Structure 1
Amino acid sequence: MNASPTAPRIALVTGANQGLGRALAEGLAARLNPADLVLLTGRDRRRVTEAAAEVAGVPGTRARVEGRVLDVTDTDAIARLADELRARHGGVDVVVSNAVARVLPDESQAERADEFIDVSNTATHAILRSFGPVLRPGGRLLVVASSLGTLGHLDPRLHHLFDGATLEQVEYAVESWRDAVHRHTAAEAGWPVWLNVPSKVAQVAAVRAVAAERRARDLASGTLVASVCPGMVDTATSRPWFSDYSRAQSPADAARAVLDLVFADRVDPALHGELIRFGKPLPWHDGTPPVEQDRLVRP
C-alpha cells in the first residue's frame, strides 16, 4: 500500500465488533503507524465502543483506533461517512467491507432473505459506490466474500445476470432475486434456497463491475479493488454451518492473508477485480451449483 510521507492513513472495517472483522481491525492497527487511524465499525454502540477500546489496548497496537456506529443497511449513513472522511482527511486508504447477517441452519432462508440481502448485497453496492470515489491512490477496497462467489456455483440460467454486468445490472439482478423469493418463484427460476450462494456471486460481480470501470487508473496508481475469500474461519457466524472444523482457521490467522494484500508493496494486475483466496485469484467461471444437503461441508 502506497502512503504519503505526511498524510496519516485512514482505514475502515465494517462488521468489526467480533470475528474476522475484529481481527482485521487489530491487524491494521498493529501494522499501521501511530499517526494513522483505524475506524472499527458496527451497528451496536456499546459493542463498538468496547471492541474499539479493547483493540486499542492490545499489545503491539500502533495506530489510533476509534469506534464508529455504522449500520450498513443504512445506505445514506454509508454515504455520509464517506463524505465525512473526504472532508476531514481527503479520503480513505483502506476499506474492508466485512459485515454479514447471521442466519442459523434451522431458520427459514426465505424469511431472512431481506436482512441477508440488505447486509451482504445492498450494503456492498453502497460501499462500492460511496467509498470508491474517495479511495486515495495506492489504496485498498476489499469486499469479504467466499469461494461460493464464483459464477459456476449458480444455475447456468442465471449466469447472464452477473457475467460482464455493470453495478446497476447487478443491483437489478439482486432485486429480481429478492422479488422471486417473496413471490415463491425463486426455485423455478433456478435460484438456490441457500441465500449464501447468490449473495456471494452478486458481491463478487459487483466488485468486478466497479473494478473494470476504474482498472486503468487503479493499476497506474497502485490501487487495488477486489473481493477476498478468507477460507474457513471459526466464528460464531460460520460455526453452525459446518460439520467439520478441523481445517478452520482462527480469525487472526484468516485475517493475515487479507492484510498481506493491504500492505503489499505493489498490486499484481492479475488480482485487480478478482476474488482472491490466499493471494491467488479464483477463476470466475468455476464452481458447481451445490445441492442443499451439501451446504454444511462447503468452505
Structure 2
Amino acid sequence: MTRTAVVTGANQGLGFALAQGLATHLLPEDLVLLTGRDAGRVAAATERVVADPSTRSHVEGRVLDVSDADAVARFATGLGAVDIVLSNAVGPLDPGRSQAEQADVFLDVANGGTQAVLRSFGPILRPGGRLLVVASSLGTLGHLPEALRARFDGVPLDDVERAVEDWRTAIHAGRAQDLGWPEWINVPSKVAQVAAVRAVAADRRERDLADGTLVAAVCPGLVDTRASRPWFANFSQAQTPEQAARAVLDLVLDDLDPSTYGELIRFGHVLPWHSGSPTRHEELIG
C-alpha cells in the first residue's frame, strides 16, 4: 500500500532533514509532501530532495501555512488519508525585539499550528501511522510555575487552546508576568504543544495501541539551525539537523513502543510529564 507522509516547516533546518530522511527510507511508491509557507522556498527545498541520489520515494512540495487552521483542514481533506505526519513548523523569535511584540506570530505557528495539525490530521491518520509533534524538553509541565500547571494538566484540547489564548491576552495587556507566566515565551508554548498532544492521545489511546499507531511529542535536542543560533552562546554540543532527525525518524520507522504513546520522547526515552522546574531565561540559554 502506498504511504503518504507530510512534513510541516520543511523548507530548511530540521524539517528539511526530516523530509529528506523520509524520502530516503520510504519506498518508490510512497509520497513525501514537503510543506512550508513560502512557495519559492518550498520549490527550492523540494528540488534539493529530488536531486539527492539517496532519495527513493516520490517527493512533492506543497504550500501550507499551519497558522491558518482552515487551510490545514482543507489540505487534510484533500489528502483523505495519511500515514506519517511530522508537525515541525515554528514561528521565528528575534532576541533583538521584545517577545511580547513577537508573540502573535510565534503562537499562531507553534501552538495554533500544532492544534490545527492535530485536529485535521488525527482523524485521517491510517492505522499503524505516526503523528509526531516536534517540541522541546522545555515542554514538561514542571517548567511552569505551580499555579499555572492545572491549565495544561489532563485537560482536553479545547482547554489547552483556551489557556494559550488567555496567555496571549495577558501578554498584550502587559499582565503576563504578574500572572506568573514565564518571561521567555518558548516555555509556555512548548508546554502547551505537549499538552495538546497528550489531550488528543488520551482520546485515542486504546484504539491506537491496538493497531500500532503512535501519537506523541518529540524533543530533538539542541539543533544548530538559523533559528536557534541567535539564542545560544555555546553550540559545542549541538547536532546538525541531519543528526537530530535520526531519533525522530526512528520513532517513525520502528515498531511502536507502547510506553512512548502520548508522551514527550527525547532520544528514544520518555521525559516524564511532571518533570522540570521553573527556570530563568538566562539559565536556559546560557
Taking structure 2 as the reference length, the TM-score comes to: 0.99
Q: CA deviation at 1:201?
A: 0.1
Q: CA deviation at 1:295?
A: 2.9
Aligned residues of 1:180 and 1:186 also touching (Cα < 8 A)? yes
1:222-276 deviations in whole A, cap 9, x for unaligned? 0000000000000000111111100000000000000000001x21111000000
Of 244, 249, 258 in structure 2, the residue corresponding to residue 269 of structure 1 is 258
Aligned amino acid, residue 282 of structure 1: L
Q: CA deviation at 1:30?
A: 0.2
Indicate the residue corresponding to 2:19 in structure 1: 25
Indicate the residue corresponding to 1:3 in structure 2: none
Aligned amino acid, residue 288 of structure 1: S
Of 222, 236, 245 in structure 2, the residue corresponding to residue 232 of structure 1 is 222
Measure, in 2, the Cα distance between the counterparts of 1:261 and 1:293.
Answer: 32
- Find the residue that maps to 2:284 and give its secondary structure: helix
Of 227, 237, 246 in structure 2, the residue corresponding to residue 256 of structure 1 is 246
Of 61, 68, 77 in structure 2, the residue corresponding to residue 67 of structure 1 is 61
Indicate the residue corresponding to 2:270 in structure 1: 281
Of 130, 153, 174 in structure 1, the residue corresponding to residue 143 of structure 2 is 153
Q: Kindly indicate whether residue 18 of structure 2 is the aligned counterpart of residue 14 of structure 1.
A: no
Measure, in 2, the Cα distance between the counterparts of 1:47 and 1:72.
Answer: 16
Indicate the residue corresponding to 2:113 in structure 1: 123
Q: Kindly indicate whether residue 126 of structure 2 is the aligned counterpart of residue 132 of structure 1.
A: no
Aligned amino acid, residue 8 of structure 2: T
Q: Kindly indicate whether residue 138 of structure 2 is the aligned counterpart of residue 144 of structure 1.
A: no
Q: Kindly indicate whether residue 38 of structure 2 is the aligned counterpart of residue 44 of structure 1.
A: yes
Measure, in 1, the Cα distance between the counterparts of 2:82 and 2:113.
Answer: 18
Taking structure 1 as the reference length, the TM-score comes to: 0.95
Measure, in 2, the Cα distance between the counterparts of 1:185 and 1:255.
Answer: 38
Aligned residues of 1:241 and 1:295 also touching (Cα < 8 A)? no
Measure, in 2, the Cα distance between the counterparts of 1:107 and 1:221.
Answer: 47
Of 159, 165, 170 in structure 2, the residue corresponding to residue 175 of structure 1 is 165
Q: CA deviation at 1:105?
A: 1.4
Measure, in 2, the Cα distance between the counterparts of 1:149 and 1:73.
Answer: 20
Residue range with higher mean Cα deviation, 285-294 or 136-145: 285-294
Of 58, 82, 86 in structure 1, the residue corresponding to residue 76 of structure 2 is 82
Of 242, 247, 266 in structure 1, the residue corresponding to residue 237 of structure 2 is 247
Indicate the residue corresponding to 1:4 in structure 2: none
Aligned residues: 286
Measure, in 2, the Cα distance between the counterparts of 1:257 and 1:212.
Answer: 24
Measure, in 1, the Cα distance between the counterparts of 2:66 and 2:200.
Answer: 19
Q: Kindly indicate whether residue 199 of structure 2 is the aligned counterpart of residue 209 of structure 1.
A: yes
- Find the residue that maps to 1:295 and give its secondary structure: helix
Of 268, 280, 285 in structure 2, the residue corresponding to residue 291 of structure 1 is 280
Q: CA deviation at 1:188?
A: 1.0
Instruction: Extract unaligned runs of 5+ from structure 2.
Output: none
- Find the residue that maps to 1:188 and give its secondary structure: coil
Measure, in 2, the Cα distance between the counterparts of 1:126 and 1:293.
Answer: 32
Measure, in 2, the Cα distance between the counterparts of 1:70 and 1:254.
Answer: 23
1:143-176 deviations in whole A, cap 9, x for unaligned? 0000000000001010000010100010010000
Indicate the residue corresponding to 1:101 in structure 2: 91
- Find the residue that maps to 1:288 and give its secondary structure: coil
Measure, in 1, the Cα distance between the counterparts of 2:281 and 2:241.
Answer: 27
Measure, in 1, the Cα distance between the counterparts of 2:165 and 2:79.
Answer: 30
Aligned amino acid, residue 266 of structure 2: R
Measure, in 2, the Cα distance between the counterparts of 1:32 and 1:267.
Answer: 17
Report sequence identity in percent: 64
- Find the residue that maps to 2:223 and give its secondary structure: coil
